[in-house]
Each structure stands twice: as C-alpha cells, then as structure tokens.
Amino acid sequence: MANVVPVDEFATGEWYPGYEPEHFSMPYIVDPAGPFKPGDEQGFWFLDFHWSRGLTPLAATLWSGDGYCWGTQHAAEALPLPPGRGVSARFAGTHLYGSALPETDPREIGARANRIATNLPHFLQNYRSIWESGRDELEATWTYFRGVDFAGTPDLTDLLGQARRYHKRAMEIHFGVMYPMLANFLGFYGACADMGIDPNQIGKFLQGEDTKIMETDRGLSDLAQKARVAGLTDVFETHEPHELRAALGRQGGAASLWLTEFDDFLQVYGWRAEATCDVGVPSWIEDNTIPLGLVKTFLKKDDAHDFVAAARNAMAEREEAIEGARSGLTREEQAVFDAGLQSNQEANFPWWQDDHNYYIDLKVMLPLRWGCQELAARVDADHKDDMLYLFWPELVDVATGRTPYQGELKSLVAERRQYFDHWHAKRGEMPKVLGTIPEAVEDPILIEIFGLNPGSIKAVQDPDAAKQTVMKGVAAAKGTARGIARVLQSSDEMHRLEPGSILVCESTSPSWTPVFGKIAGAACDGGGMLSHAAIVGREYGVPTVTALGVATISIADGDEVEVDGTTGTVTILTKASTTTADTAADAPAGVAG
Amino acid sequence: MTVEDVGEPTVHSCDAVVWIDEVDPQQAIAAGGSKMGRLAELMQSGVQVPQGFAVTVDAYSRHCRESGLDERIDAVIDRLGSSPDDAGVEEASAAIRQMFRETPVGAHLTGRLTEAYEELCLRCVDVNVPVAVRSSATGEDAADASFAGIFDTYLGVSGIERVLDAVRNCWGSLFTARALAYRLRKGISHHAMPIAVGVIELIHARASGVAFSVHPVTGKSDRIVIETSWGWGEAIVQGLVDPDHVEVGKSDGRVLKYDVAHKRIVSAFDFAVGAVTEIDMPAKLADRQVLDPEQVGAIASAVTAIEEHYGHPVDVEWVISRHRRPGDPVCIVQTRPVTVTAAPEEAAPAAYDPVALAQKYLFSGRPIPGR
C-alpha cells in the first residue's frame, strides 16, 4: 500500500503575499508549475535538493515555469521519452517539489517509441555538432548581454524580456541534450550490468575527462598557491571571507597584485552564480566572498590538492576498470561493450553533466539579475535585490513605468522578504516527499540522479530518523573517511568546511565542486550514482555516500562520523554536545539540536 | 571364458551385459539406458570415457520376472491406488526397495556379471578394481531434468559381491518415493521405464565437476560454465560443496572469470569402507584454486566437442585423473542435454543498439539490473 502524505498544509491557495494566480500564467506543455493545489496528493512529489535556500517570487516562477517545466516537458515531447512527459513543479512555501509526468496510454507509448527509434540514433551520430551549436548559440547570446550597457538603456523592458528568453532557450537546449545522452548512457549501463560487470565499475569507464568546472577549481588552487608565495597566508588566516577583499586592498603591494590576478581569473570563471538557474543569488563577480573563502580554505591545507595526480589517477583507474571489465566478457560481448563505450565516450554523459554547468546552469540567470538590479537602482529601491521579490507581470509594469515601485509594491516586497526568511528557516523541517509515495519509482532519472531508490524513499518516511546512528545509502565514491560533520543547508555555508571535514547536505551541485578538494568525505540526503556528488566524489577520490534520505536530520553539526563509500554506510561515532556554543551558532536553521 | 547359458534357452546370452566400447551406438540407449548409451555414443565420437559395461534393461526385466518380484511389486503398487498420500508412497517405496535387497541375483546373471567384472579387472590391470555403479534409466522422461540425480550411484565399489549388491540397490532406486510419486502423478507404469545399471572403472579423481556448454541459468550460449572441486564429483552433484566457478568464452577459449570458492566438503575414497564418501575438506585445499588454465582448456574443448556432436547444448560430468598429463583429454563420465534456453531478451545482444537498450532498461518500467 502506498503511503499518502497530504499536501493540504501547503495547498491553501495562499502563497507569497500579494500572489495572484495570473502571476504564474505562462505557456506550458503538459503540466504548469504553481503552488501546491488540492488533488496534488495523487502525484509523488520530492523536495528538490537543488534549491535548498528557497526561491524568491521571480526566481520561483521563472525557473519552475520557463526552466524546470518548460525545459523538461519540451525535451520529453521532442525526443520523445516513450513513457515520460518530463517533470512538473509545485511550491510549498518557497520550496520546490518535483514530480515526473508519466505517459500511460499504451498506444501513445508505442508511437513515441517509434519516434525515439529515429531520433536517438540521429542525435548520437550528430552529438558533437548538436551540443556545440547549442552551446555556441548560448555563448553568442551571453556575449551580446556582456556588451549591453544596462545603465545606458532608457527602457529596460525589452532587455528583461530578452534575458528571460535566454534562460528559457538555454533550458530547451539543456534538456534537449541531456535526455538523449542520459538514455544512451543508462542503456549502456544496463547492458554492462546485464553482462555481469560490477555496476560500481561502470561509472569509472567515462571518468577522467577535464571539465570547465574542474578547470575553475584548478585556477582557484593556483591562486591560493600564489597567495602563499606572495606571503598573504596571514591576511587570509586572520580575516573572514567577507572581509578579505577590503583587507587585501588595504595591504597594497603584493596583495594588490594578487587581487589583480584574482580579478582576471574572475573575468573568465567568475560569471557563475552559487546556484542552478536561481536569479536570486549573486555571481562570484558580484560577491567575492565565495571564491575568496575557497582560496582561504585551500591555504589552510598544507598539502594542496594535487589536481594533476588526481586526474592521472582518475584516468588510470578508468583504463584499469575498462580492461578489467573487458577481460570478463566473451568476444561477442566485447563487441557490444566496445561499441557502447565508444558511443558514450563521444557523447560522455558524466562529463557533460559537470561541464555544461559552466555554459548554462550557473550563468543563464545573470543577465536577468543585472536588469533587475539596474531597475532597482532607478526606482530607488532599498536593496538592489528588491526586484527579485516581484512577480514577472509586476516587474514588467515597474520597468515600463505603468506601476510605481514606491508604495504598495515596496511594502509587498518587505512582506515577501519576511515570507522568504520564514520558509528559509523551515527548510530542515520540510517533508522530503509529499503525495502518494510509492515503494519504488521506475524513472531512471529519479533513481540515478535524484537517488530516489527504495531505501531512501523508506528512510525519508521514518519518524525516528533523527535518532538513527547508522545509515545506508548509495555507495557513490569508494573509500572510508572519518571526520567532524558540517551540516550545510546550501553552498552559502561552504566557508564552514575545514580541511578534513565531512560534508553533510541535501545534495551538491556544481557550485559545491571546489570543496571536494578539501573535505574528507561527503554524505548526502539525495543523489544517485550519476548525481553531482557521486561523479565529483569519484573524480576527486573523496569517499561519498548519497541517497541517505535523512543524513541532514540524523547527523548534527559537530558529530564525529565515518563515511564508508565502498559499502554505502554512514555511521555517527560520537554525538556532538548540543550545548557547545559554537556548534549551536554555526548550525543551519532547522537542523540544530 | 564364456559361461554357457544353460537354463534360459529363449534368450540370447549377450543381452545381459553390453560393453561401452562394443555396443552398436544405435542400440546403446535401448539396451544400456540413457546414461550408458550416451557414454557409448561419446566413445564412438572420439571422446575419452571410462571403461565399463552396462547391466542391461533385459537383465533387469528378466530378474524381476524370474524371481517373482514383478508380481510382488505390482501388488504393493495396486494397494497404493492412484492418489496415495506421502506416507503411503514412502512406505511402499521402502517395502519394494527392501524386496530388491533381499532377492538374490539368479545364478545365470551372477555368472554373466562375474565374468564381465573380471574382464574389467583385466582391462584395468587391477584386482577387484574399484568401480562406479550407476543407475541408467530408460524411457522418454529419463532424459528429463526432473529425474536428474533421482536414482542411485555408488562410487568405489570393489569385489563382485559388492558390485552385485550395488546393482540390486540401483534397481531398487527405480522405486524411490520421488520416482514412484512422479510416475503415479503422470500415470506411467514402471514397466514402461525399466532400468539399466552401469559398471564403470572408477577414475582416480584429482578433481572433478560439471560443465555446461551454455550458461545454465541465463542460457547465454557464448560461454562454457564449469563448476569444480577436489576429488570426486558427488559432493558437487549433490550440492554438498560450494564449488569453484569458471566461465570460458566459447569462441576463443579465454577464461572470463574464475571464482575460487571455500570448499568445505570433499568426496574422497575411504579405504576402510571401500567406497567414495563425503568428508571435511582438508584446510589447506579448501581455498585453493582447483583448475589451471590448461585443465580448463581441456574441459572446455571436450564440452564443445560433445555439444557439436549432439547439435544441442549439453551438460557433462567430467573427471581429471591423477594420471592425466597436460595435453591429455579429460575423462567424461556422464552427459545430458540442457533444457534451459535463453529467453530472447536475455540472449546477448548482437550489436550495440542504443534504442533497443534504452527501451529495455529505461522505458520498460523495470529497474536497471544490478542496482
């Protein structure tokens, strides 16, 4: 019997103060995004770990409507996926829940299967040109926005519209490439497993390819090395990340030279926001705290992460895994394996899963953010981010001058900020799943990327989750590590990680990648074998367990834990004293105690 | 050498015993049962098999007829009715098997068997040569997997008296409770499937095991699967020992995997008892790899040859003798057709087909294997 978690609590019709249903009215393909509504408990909804901060009104509506729903449903219809029509989104407060949309009509499934039989081979034969032309199209639009003088544009309305379209188009390209690549990869994965290859080895066959995200990490590590040589270690040690820019500036001399190099680095790699497609968070260029904090922690480690050695190891491990797998196959099976490996090396899904974030996820909301900040300045808003608390129709009205910002909208923004903060604090208490909860899901994307396997689905329904000390999850990256747990709500808190910390979080995304150079292990609520944490854990050789369901509830900040990424077990060895002052102060909201 | 057939004028004297290397393969199964008949076929096709003879179906039938066993067996079975309970079947089985043990073999047949056993001793250059006495059933169902291991086998029987006892026990095993219940259920008369018994030179086994010309579970036909342990094969056949598991690519003979098992039990010759019995495996042998690559290759080529000879997948029982040298063939003691066949979706795909694989693993609603 499926367990039903009611959605009534979140389906009251109330949402952000001043919300009207037409604020969410936009074209949709199969199912539109929106706040939870009565009847939604018939679906199976999972709390999406990508947006653990919560989303502002503008971020929530545009990302869920133009990105999450439009992008996935567009791609699922175009390829098409025979039994799936993409993903839909609902909001409980500021928090996004996702649900896969099934196709159940057997005749439709048959017709869709015939279409993918033509379209998937065509995609794989032309993968490089399809992905690169999509990427180049987006880079061209990006270059256009970089050349736009936002401050010198009298009417921002068109720019805001263009920026919104850029994001929406990016999501069409994103999922249009992701679905067929994933289909090819999981087909290969299944064939390998059926041929008796250890599934833990399969992930290794495609590792060791350099990505833009790893390139960024190496750049930061080099900057840390240069800071050390320039004698700046003291400045980094004695200042918090948010004070570093000013402190280095005051120091002058070598510190100023270093800052110049740092800024040059940011001009290439700093156009990345701290979250996937979230207009509500700044880029590294806008807020240097994150990259400076990363340099600070790189300096704390005496032995710098050896990127060259790690890459060499990843490649050697890959070759060894491929050779080991091939040697156990018959000649007939080797022919299938070799062809499948070649196809997946050409269209390398795990590589793309990391690399594309540089071109798409971390960047495509920035032009809209710039437009909103320019508008905030013009209407004399209290805070440069105030426009992010408007809904799109309100934003357009302010941009065209139809509605003044000062007055009613301004006070709504103040109330919406409170609403956002209220739900931000409640993140740790949000149900991980809502609606009709199956014992197992069949959608491979939900299993392999989101980590929704029978074990984690069971774990998130355990009322005694907070008391457990031994947890089982997906053995995502091998090895064992012990250390002090740091339970983080979002990558905003990455500065709290020390070298040797055990990272505990809902899940990681590309903004987290640099911390894998210093942490000893990772334990995540979500994420399957193909999740970001699993892929990056393997690349960096960091023991990682994913799909624990409730690690952020069971583990408290400061606990001593052991992560066994070979068996997929996480054990709490010593509970932190809940009265320790610094732990209580550091613990993210909703998790302390 | 020949003992004259005095008391039985209507029956040919040669019918009681047929030799593996002398019988016409066309009649081998009819006379010697499926197990012995196939050994004769294998020998004809050039496969190494042990020396030995079959106590024929005719010999069994004549024994039952002349000793009055037929009437007494039929009386027990008639009393059972068509749908007896388990206890009734057990009781009838025990009664019939007791009759076989208590009914002496007639003088004529005793003479024929003594003569044949002495001939086997001569061929093996041994006194009271130890033999394997194996039931060799007939009838269509005898080849069926449901009868595998149902009838008795005695390993290491030495001396004519013990051979005669073992033959009578094998005859009686046609009436084990399982066999009895099976025939009652299917409405088959035991007269429709008389039994023969093989008396075969006991190969002094260094190692033995079974081998399949297709994967016995998945049915994949691109590989040979071997299971093996030290000593004789009984412990493996009866499932008493967890054997080493070897897979060999059929097209190139490459060892695909060799899983060494912890082997707790061994079938070894007990000189005090005069039989092969199951004892604890010596600690130093338990975790040792049984086969070297040359031996694996010899087993694989024998299995491949047998499959080619029959034109269908087979399983075999094989023995590596203590006296075998590298390059010698391995000795095959039994072969049967394999009934498992690969379901179309389980068969190894012929080529990498991303659409078919996506359909199979992503869009079928089934979890990806191994997850």
Q: Can you read off the two tokens belonging to residue A260?
A: 């110049």
| Cβ-defined contact of A336 to B256 (cutoff 8 Å) | no
Instruction: Establish how many alpha carbons lie within 13 A of residue A378's alpha carbon, considering only the half-sphere containing its beta carbon.
Output: 21
Q: Which of B201, B226, B242 is the last residue of a domain?
A: B201
Angstrom distance (rounded) from CA A375 to CA A372: 5
Q: Of B136, B169, B201, which closes a domain?
A: B201
On whether both B167 and B231 belong to a single domain, the answer is no
Q: How far apart are CA B176 and CA B178, in angstroms?
A: 5
Q: Give the CA dihedral B327, B328, B332, B336, nearest 10 degrees.
A: 30
Is B347 within the bounds of a domain? no
Is some CB atom of chain A closer than 8 A to the CB atom of B222? Answer: yes
Residue B131: which CATH number? 3.30.1490.20
What's the number of domains chain B is made of? 2
Note whether B149 contacts A: Cβ–Cβ < 8 A.
no
B209 lies in the same domain as B195: no
Which chain A residues contact residue B349 at CB under 8 A?
191, 336
- For residue B363, give the nearest of A113, A199, A331 by CB distance: A113
Cβ contacts of B269-276, under 8 Å, gap ≥ 24: B269/B130, B269/B156, B269/B204, B269/B232, B270/B156, B274/B130, B274/B156, B274/B157, B274/B158, B274/B159, B274/B162, B275/B154, B275/B155, B275/B156, B275/B157, B276/B155, B276/B156, B276/B202, B276/B231, B276/B232, B276/B234
Residue B331 located in a structural domain:
yes
Q: What is the CATH number of the domain that holds B269?
A: 3.30.470.20
Instruction: Examine the domain organization and report whether B143 and B63 are in the same domain.
Output: yes
> Measuring CA to CA, which residue among B67, B68, B62, B52 is closest to residue B136?
B52
Domain of residue B218: give its range. 205-337
Cβ atoms A489, A427 nearer than 8 A: yes
Question: Last residue of some domain: B153, B170, B201?
Answer: B201
Within an 8 Å CB–CB cutoff, is residue A330 touching chain B?
yes
How far is A157 from A164, CA to CA, in rounded Å?
11
**Among residues of chain A, what percentage have pLDDT more than 90?**
77
In a domain, B159, yes or no: yes
Q: Which residues contact A562 (CB under 8 A, 6 or more apart)?
A: A480, A481, A482, A570, A571, A573
3-state secondary structure of B83: coil
Domain locations along chain A: 3-173+373-429, 195-364, 464-586
**Residue B105, in any domain of the structure:** yes
Q: Are A206 and A318 in contact (CB under 8 A)?
A: yes
User: Given this model, what pLDDT does residue A590 score?
Assistant: 36
Q: Are A444 and B362 in contact (CB under 8 A)?
A: yes
For residues B294 and B276, what is the distance between their CA atoms, to the nearest angstrom? Answer: 27
User: Whole-angstrom Cα distance, residue B67 to residue B80?
Assistant: 22
Q: Do B155 and B89 fall into the same domain?
A: yes
- Give the SS3 label for residue B15: helix
- Cα separation, B250 vs B162, whole angstroms: 42
Residue B118 falls within a domain, yes or no?
A: yes
Q: Which residues contact A351 (CB under 8 A, 6 or more apart)?
A: A206, A209, A211
Using a CB-CB distance cutoff of 8 angstroms, which residues of chain A are in contact with residue B355? 116-117, 120-121
Whether residue B82 is found in the same domain as residue B186: yes
Q: Say yes or no: B217 contacts chain A, CB-CB below 8 A.
A: no
Residues B195, B323 within the same domain: no
Residue B74 falls inside a structural domain: yes
Contact present, A262 and A221 (Cβ < 8 Å): no
The DSSP element (H or E) to which A539 belongs, if any, is helix A532-540
Whether the CB-CB separation of A66 and A171 falls below 8 Å is answered with: yes
**Which residue from A minimizes the CA distance to B366?**
A442
Q: Is B370 on the interface with A (CB under 8 A)?
A: yes
Instruction: Select the residue from A115, A330, A334, A447 to test the B interface by mutation, using most B Cβ atoms within 10 A.
Output: A330
pLDDT for position A586? 44
Find the length of chain A.
Answer: 593
B361 domain residue, yes or no: no
B71 and B177, same domain (yes or no): yes
Cβ separation A116–B355 shorter than 8 A: yes
CA distance B330 to B322: 11
Low-confidence residues in chain A, pLDDT < 50 = 579-593
CA distance A124 to A95: 36
Cα–Cα distances (Å) from B229 to A169, A349, A467, B294, B333, in that order, read 64, 44, 48, 16, 16
Q: Are residues B236 and B156 in the same domain?
A: no
State the DSSP H helix or E strand holding residue A419, giving kind and residue range, or none if neither.
Answer: helix A408-425
Split chain B (371 residues) into runs of 10 and give each run's mean pLDDT.
42 73 87 91 93 96 94 92 87 95 95 96 95 86 60 92 96 92 85 92 96 90 96 92 96 95 95 88 97 97 95 95 96 87 62 92 71 52
The sign of the dihedral angle between the CA atoms of A230, A235, A237, A243 is negative
Q: Do B361 and A333 touch (CB under 8 A)?
A: no
pLDDT score at B369: 64
**CA A331, chain centre distance (Å):** 41
Q: Are residues B253 and B324 in the same domain?
A: yes
For residue B366, being part of any structural domain is answered with no
Same domain, B238 and B222: yes
Nearest CA to A354 among A521, A515, A519, A530?
A: A530
pLDDT of residue A54: 97
Return the residue of B nearest to A124 by Cα: B354
Q: Is the domain of B90 the same as that of B17?
A: yes
Parallel, antiparallel, or unpaired for β B314-321 and B331-337?
A: antiparallel
Q: Give me the CATH topology for the region A464-586.
A: Glucose Oxidase; domain 1 (3.50.30)
Omega of the bond leading into A80 within 30 degrees of 0 (cis): yes
Return the pLDDT at A513: 85
Distance CA A397, CA A549 (A): 43
Q: Same domain, yes or no, for B25 and B171?
A: yes
- Note whether B361 contacts A186, CB cutoff 8 Å: yes
B203 residue type, one letter: I
Contact in structure between A288 and A245 (CB atoms under 8 Å): yes
